[in-house]
Amino acid sequence: MSEYLLKAVDISKAFVGVQALDAVSLDIRPGEIHCLAGENGCGKSTLIKIISGVYQQDAGYIEFNGKRFTRITPLEAIAMGIQVIYQDFSIFPNLTVMENLAFNTELAAGRRLVNKRRMRTVAEEALSKINFDIELDRLVGSLSVAEKQMVAICRALMFDAKLIIMDEPTTALTRKEVRALFEIILKLKEQGIAILFVSHKLNEVFEISERFTIFRSGKHIVSGNTSELDDRKFSYYMTGREFDAEPFRPRYEGGECVLEVENLAIEGAFEDVSFRLCRGEILGITGLLDSGRSELALALFGLRRSTGGRILVKGKEIAMGSPRDAIEAGIGYVPEDRLSEGLFLPRSIADNIVISEIDRLTGALSVLDFRRYRQEVEDWVRALSIATPDPENACSTLSGGNQQRVVLAKWLACKPDVLVLNGPTVGVDIGSKHDIHRILQRLANEGMAVIIISDDLPEVLQNCSHLLIMKDGRIVARPDPGSTDENTVLSHML
Amino acid sequence: MKKKFRKLISRTEFYIALVFLALCLLIQLRSGQFFTPNNIVDILSALVVPGIFAVGAFMVIISGGFDVSFPALASLTSFVTTKVLLDAGWQGGVWLPFLIALVLGALLGAFNGLFIGYFELPAMIVTLGSSSFFKGLMQGALNSKQLAVIPVGMRSFGTSALFVAKNVESGLTSRMPTTFLVLAGVLLVTWFLLNRTMFGRGIYAIGGNPVSAHRAGFNVRRTRFLLLVYVGMISALAGLCRVCMMQQMHPTNMLGMEMNVIAGVVLGGTAIIGGAGTLFGCMLGTGLIVLVENSMILIGIPTVWKDAFVGALIVIGTGISAFQVNRARRAGLRNVRKGAAL
Amino acid sequence: MKKTLALLLSLLLMFSCVAALADGYEIVVVPKDESNPWFVRMKTGVDEYAAAHPEDTIYQKGTPEIDATLQYQLVMDLVAQEVDAICVVPVDLASIEPALKAAMDAGIVVIAHEGAALENVDYDIEAFNNELYGAFIMDNLAAAMGEEGLYTTMVADLTNGSHNEWADGGVKRAGEPYPGMTLLADEPRVESHDNGDIAYNVAKELFKKYPDLKGVMGTSSFDAPGIARAIEELGLSGKVFTAGTGMPGDNAALLKSGAVQYLTLWDPALAGQAMVALAQKVLNGEAVAAPLDLGVEGYGALEFKAGSDTVLEGQGWITITAENVDSFGF
């Protein structure tokens, strides 16, 4: 038995001229929890696919259990005990838990006929490996995300897995569910199964992994013990940049009050919410999922009708009936789920940026003024450093962080007085996250009033001049972000 | 028990069955003729051809696509079969026509399957095209005309009856056509394929998520290809049954049936996005459409309102079905979002 | 043998040329195509008529397949050959008009059949008046029903023009000489969508719901055959009757089995003869006034269609029975 379960050595891979991996190496010990981190597009997924046999490397080799391979087929990978749990879990929502669990084994055994009794036995055995208790006849589509993930893990365990690769496993999980997942990972470790945990979330890397490897732009940057890693180093390895985590200090002088909210309420969601917001300020609103923070955001933008209280913009009461009213009053909104609410993914980046201000770019007879349109798009792509070779490319070609910038650009193009952001950096990698924070601070210093609604505590503490904490639909505390800490805020939230 | 009941009422089939029953009662009330032996046999006899078609359409929808070419495929195969045997002066049994139709159906199905399975084109687009192609082949290249006489074997098969149902009161008799056995056979084989073979489970799996199906080890391309071959074969069977029962081959008589057949399948609770639905529901939905189409006079709906009535039923029925599917999807989405927020 | 034949042929040719060159007219019948059994039947009639009228050169000439462009070409060729009259059954009204105009401009007599809306014609002959044809179907149905009982009508679609005119004509007829016949008030008109299977199923429903129903008048050529199938299956042969349009070739078996007694139709052979006869009349400068007698069966008293002075309507319907069904060849 060699010291390492898996050794990937000097792996290179290019796709039509783009070097996705440039002589990267990765090694995993038996029973180890290893975290592979890196920003979007750094080559993490490519390496996973090479290890699991989906792609073939151009150069380099893989050693598994001391056996050396220059190429692995998917079947060999499975036979050796390598299992990948993809981000979408590769499940069938329309079929039962039993079938989801048993299909792979049945197919691997080359069976042509269905034997329900055998499939049930197989499925029960799979569940017993992590003592996961669920009805075998339930449709997987009716399960929660965490339960689906458990099904995927159980399925992976059926092939005498020695290495389980989890691709961004925590993306759609609640905190509680993440904790449950970590317990399972530890249990698997006890059984001698190694876990390769692919993530770009800092706290997860610290919490669960023993060792880590970081890639950047297809290159291996560093490997080591997680205990030797800290916040600053991690960010540096990931992005190659040093970040100064300086808290936000308002610099805009003499900001008039632009938004006043008085006793605002939506029955069943929140009540009695009052605050004032001036130019140059960034207001943070935080709280648990059911605290009413999201509903408040929707109410500020006219997406939900308030049932009590009033909203004043620059001293004038606004009847907030629809997003149009909000836009006319000078309020912009960056939604929580940018993919479904904020962007037209198949359309071009340029179209997405100008969509909200399209009326302003049309000349006589409502014909689009193409010169101004180009100029406008170019300005925003530069101002927010959106990384694209051509703004005419579809928005879906961008990474999460860049998509978020497009959403920002779209609203900034309308020149709002107040910008409301709901979870502005969810699913965005560190570099982009930092950039977005800098952009928001700059906007505030230029005189915009900003509201950040987020449960990312470091984010609100670092970037906000004021902070509201909500719990059960009420504001429970208004601490000063400069003089409080995460634990205090958390204790108010819970 | 309570749980079972809740599960029952959450299924679309349950509501379709209710509507079905209500309609039967309405017809009985209005005409006094529904629950008579000959009327029930009439409905079952009218179900044969749309029923077989529906099985094929159902399977393709399960796999996540739409087949609109089956009427053209059935017309072409049954025309060629009838014409060839007439020209050859075939005097033998019905086995040869069925054999020829099956082979031709498999070939045309393979044509669809090649594009849908191996070239991975959307089924709807492919079959819209192949539908025109089959029609063109029949009407142009083969110069199809109505064939008033069909081979004697087909003729006697078409008029043969399993039994004759008699309404004692009115003295009316209806034949239960032997072709009903073809529908029964197709249902049996298809049920077995879908529920007892990995091929069938693969169709459901592909309808649920083709990428996952591929990763799980299903041969997605081959499964889709074979599916279309099978659908081609049963569609050809339906076409031949229609010719035998009508006692003549009319080349354009079946064209246009696809809309009501697909509506029936969707009515029966088959998810339009694929992956979910049962053969039982599919038959129930198709039966409902056949029932309605063949009971307008019995109910006493004026002829001018017939189309509106059938149309309204389809809209409402498929609406309920689509609503159910949407609700399920939204519930799924909510779960994901909930997770994402915290 | 060969020589004699050749001699005979050349003689024949010379004779016909002489005939044409002499005072006779050249009259050409142009059908939609020449292979369709319907027009093969028309050719039989035209040839028969030609044999009986050797003074003129009369023949039918068609294109190999139904194609509006080919038909246009053919007519233009005939214009170039300076024939005396063209009798045409148009494939497509709009595309044939220019050719017919060229013919008229060249002084050629133009007679059409099934082209009531054509403009560049001397006359158009329709086999019958729609209302009267309906009455004729009704006569057949009444005969089968013994002139009494409950009946209803079937059309392809309620929006179909001629079918509904036929049905209206039939209903009107039933009211006059047949006091025992009553229209089914609940379902006075049902649809078959030109589909034999639908006609069959609808008929089954009708007989179930209305046990007293004794007859169904069909209009589309799919109606009566479909209804007849239902009658046969339900065991109602001899008790319930149908009549309507139907092609002999498609329905020989049904007629012979007795499931249906009468089908009605118009005979293309007679229509062809009527066209030629009218062309002769015009060429000879005879007056064309209603009622016009062309000396052809069913075309002995043509009347102008209401509001038209070019469209003539005959009584050219025929009855197809088990006895004569095999004599038509289509």
Are B342 and A288 in contact (CB < 8 Å)? yes
- Cβ A263 vs Cβ A308: under 8 Å: yes
In the structure encoding, which two tokens stand for residue B230, read together? 């099978």
Q: Which of A111-115, A142-146, A381-385 has the lowest mean pLDDT?
A: A381-385
More confident residue, C84 or B341: C84
Min Cα separation A336/chain B (Å): 8
The closest CB to that of A337, out of B197, B274, B337, belongs to: B337
Confirm whether C22-121+268-314 and C130-266 share one CATH topology.
Answer: yes
- Cβ A337 vs Cβ A286: under 8 Å: no
Are B204 and A92 in contact (CB < 8 Å)? yes
Pairing of the two strands A308-313 and A316-318: antiparallel
Which architecture does CATH list for C130-266?
Answer: 3-Layer(aba) Sandwich (3.40)
Quote the pLDDT of residue C152: 95
Quote the pLDDT of residue A338: 61
In the structure encoding, which two tokens stand for residue B329, read together? 């999807």
Are A173 and B339 in contact (CB < 8 Å)? yes
Are C197 and B242 in contact (CB < 8 Å)? yes
pTM for the model: 0.78
- Kindly indicate the confidence band of residue C279, based on its pLDDT and cuts at 50, 70 and 90: very high
Q: Where are the domains of chain C?
A: 22-121+268-314, 130-266
A358-394 pLDDT per residue, tens: 666 776 666 777 787 888 888 888 877 777 777 787 7
Q: Does an interface of 3+ CB pairs under 8 Å exist between B and C?
A: yes
Instruction: With beta carbons under 8 A apart, name residues in chain C contacting B48.
Output: none
- Cβ A101 vs Cβ A154: under 8 Å: yes
- Kindly indicate the confidence band of residue C9, based on its pLDDT and cuts at 50, 70 and 90: low
Quote the pLDDT of residue B287: 93
B250 part of contact set with chain C, CB < 8 Å: yes
Distance CA B75, CA B242 (A): 10
- Kindly indicate the confidence band of residue C4, based on its pLDDT and cuts at 50, 70 and 90: low
Q: Distance from CA of residue C124 to its chain's centroid?
A: 13
Are C190 and B303 in contact (CB < 8 Å)? yes
More confident residue, A156 or A203: A156
A158-201 pLDDT per residue, tens: 888 899 999 888 877 777 788 888 888 898 898 889 999 888 77
B132 part of contact set with chain C, CB < 8 Å: no
Quote the pLDDT of residue A346: 75
The closest CB to that of B198, out of A111, A141, A337, belongs to: A111
Q: Among all residues of chain A, which has the CA nearest to that of B206?
A: A92
Q: Got the DSSP string for B43-104? A: HHHHHHHHHHHHHHHHHHHHTT-----HHHHHHHHHHHHHHHHHHHT--S-SHHHHHHHHHH
DSSP state of A158: T
Instruction: With beta carbons under 8 A apart, name residues in chain C contacting B297.
Output: 187, 190, 202, 205-206, 209
Are B246 and C196 in contact (CB < 8 Å)? yes
Instruction: With beta carbons under 8 A apart, name residues in chain B contacting A339.
Output: none
B319 part of contact set with chain C, CB < 8 Å: no
Instruction: With beta carbons under 8 A apart, name residues in chain C contacting B173.
Output: 233-235
Mutate which of C234, C239, C250, C256 to disrupt the B interface (most B C-beta within 10 Å)?
C234
Domains of chain A: 6-239 (3.40.50.300), 257-493 (3.40.50.300)
The closest CB to that of B341, out of A95, A107, A294, belongs to: A294
Residues in B lying within 8 Å of A, measured between beta carbons: 195-201, 204-205, 207-209, 211-213, 215-218, 271, 274-276, 328, 331-332, 335-342
Sheet holding A82-85, edge to edge: A82-85, A163-167, A194-199, A33-37, A211-216, A219-225
DSSP state of A207: H
Instruction: With beta carbons under 8 A apart, name residues in chain A contacting B342.
Output: 174-175, 288-289, 455
Distance CA B245, CA B154 (A): 9
Min Cα separation A471/chain B (Å): 14
Are B304 and C158 in contact (CB < 8 Å)? yes
Q: Among all residues of chain C, which has the CA nearest to that of B171?
A: C235
The closest CB to that of C189, out of B42, B245, B303, belongs to: B303
Quote the pLDDT of residue C22: 46
Alpha helices in A25-174 (DSSP H): 44-51, 74-80, 97-108, 116-128, 145-157
C307 part of contact set with chain B, CB < 8 Å: no
Are C205 and B296 in contact (CB < 8 Å)? yes
The closest CB to that of B172, out of C235, C249, C251, belongs to: C235
Quote the pLDDT of residue A363: 65
Instruction: With beta carbons under 8 A apart, name residues in chain C contacting B41.
Output: none
Among the listed residues A18, A20, A1, A22, the one whose alpha carbon sits nearest the alpha carbon of residue A10 = A22
- Kindly indicate the confidence band of residue C195, based on its pLDDT and cuts at 50, 70 and 90: confident
Q: Which residues of chain B have pLDDT under 50?
A: 332-342
B39 part of contact set with chain C, CB < 8 Å: yes
Quote the pLDDT of residue C162: 80
Distance CA C89, CA C110 (A): 11
Are B335 and A144 in contact (CB < 8 Å)? yes
For the beta carbon of residue A182, count every other beta carbon within 10 angstroms: 17
Q: Among all residues of chain B, which has the CA nearest to that of C191?
A: B303
C309 part of contact set with chain B, CB < 8 Å: no
User: Chain C, 55-114: which have a CB under 8 Å from a chain B CB?
Assistant: none
**Separation in Å, CA A32 to CA A185, A200, A208, C258:** 10, 19, 10, 90
Distance CA B53, CA B72 (A): 12
Are B197 and A114 in contact (CB < 8 Å)? yes
- Kindly indicate the confidence band of residue C288, based on its pLDDT and cuts at 50, 70 and 90: confident
C118-170 pLDDT per residue, tens: 899 999 999 888 888 999 999 999 999 999 999 999 998 888 778 898 999 99
Min Cα separation B21/chain A (Å): 28
Most confident of A95-109, B109-123, C231-245: B109-123
Alpha helices in chain B (DSSP H): 2-9, 12-31, 37-62, 70-88, 95-113, 123-136, 152-159, 180-196, 198-208, 210-216, 220-246, 258-267, 279-293, 296-299, 303-341
Cα R_g (chain C), whole angstroms: 22
Instruction: With beta carbons under 8 A apart, name residues in chain A contacting B339.
Output: 144-146, 172-174, 177
- Kindly indicate the confidence band of residue A240, based on its pLDDT and cuts at 50, 70 and 90: confident
Task: Using CB atoms, list chains with 3+ pairs below 8 Å to chain B.
Answer: A, C
Are A106 and B335 in contact (CB < 8 Å)? no
Q: Rounded to 5 degrees, what are φ and ψ at C305? A: -65, 145
Report helix angle B279-293 to B258-267, nearest 10.
Answer: 130
Min Cα separation A259/chain B (Å): 26
Mean pLDDT calculated for residue range A286-297: 85
Q: Got the DSSP string for C186-215? A: S-SEEE-TT-HHHHHHHHHHHHHH-TTEEE
Mutate which of A52, A86, A90, A94 to disrupt the B interface (most B C-beta within 10 Å)?
A94
Are C189 and B31 in contact (CB < 8 Å)? no
Quote the pLDDT of residue B134: 94
- Cβ B60 vs Cβ B231: under 8 Å: yes
| Mean pLDDT over the full length of chain C | 87
Answer yes or no: is pLDDT of A401 > 80. no
Answer yes or no: is pLDDT of C324 > 60. yes
Min Cα separation C126/chain B (Å): 25
Distance CA A46, CA A13 (A): 8
Answer yes or no: is pLDDT of C13 > 60. no
Q: C40: part of which helix (H) or strand (E)?
A: helix C37-52
Instruction: With beta carbons under 8 A apart, name residues in chain A contacting B216.
Output: 90, 103-104, 107
Mean pLDDT calculated for residue range C295-323: 89
For the beta carbon of residue B220, count every other beta carbon within 10 angstroms: 19
ipTM of this predicted complex?
A: 0.84
The closest CB to that of B253, out of C197, C206, C236, belongs to: C197
Residues 6+ apart with CB under 8 A from B121: B115
Are B246 and C197 in contact (CB < 8 Å)? yes
Distance CA C22, CA A149 (A): 100
Share of residues in chain C with pLDDT > 90 (%): 47
Q: C16: part of which helix (H) or strand (E)?
A: helix C2-21
Q: A185: part of which helix (H) or strand (E)?
A: helix A175-190
Min Cα separation C25/chain B (Å): 37
Q: Distance from CA of residue A303 to its chain's centroid?
A: 24
C243-263 pLDDT per residue, tens: 998 888 778 888 888 878 888
Residue pointed to by tokens 């994402």 = B340
DSSP state of A291: G
Longest dimension (CA), chain A: 78
- Kindly indicate the confidence band of residue C66, based on its pLDDT and cuts at 50, 70 and 90: confident
Are B201 and A103 in contact (CB < 8 Å)? yes
- The CATH fold of domain C22-121+268-314: Rossmann fold (3.40.50)
Quote the pLDDT of residue B340: 36
Mutate which of A85, A90, A92 to disrupt the B interface (most B C-beta within 10 Å)?
A92
The closest CB to that of B172, out of C189, C207, C247, belongs to: C207
Mean pLDDT calculated for residue range A8-12: 91
Quote the pLDDT of residue B337: 38
Distance CA A448, CA A278 (A): 8
Distance CA C57, CA C54 (A): 7
Q: A12: part of which helix (H) or strand (E)?
A: strand A6-15
Distance CA A13, CA A50 (A): 9
Quote the pLDDT of residue B339: 36
Cross-strand partners of A219: A216
**Separation in Å, CA A60 to CA A8, A22, A42:** 8, 10, 18
Min Cα separation C213/chain B (Å): 12
B149 part of contact set with chain C, CB < 8 Å: yes
Quote the pLDDT of residue C19: 45
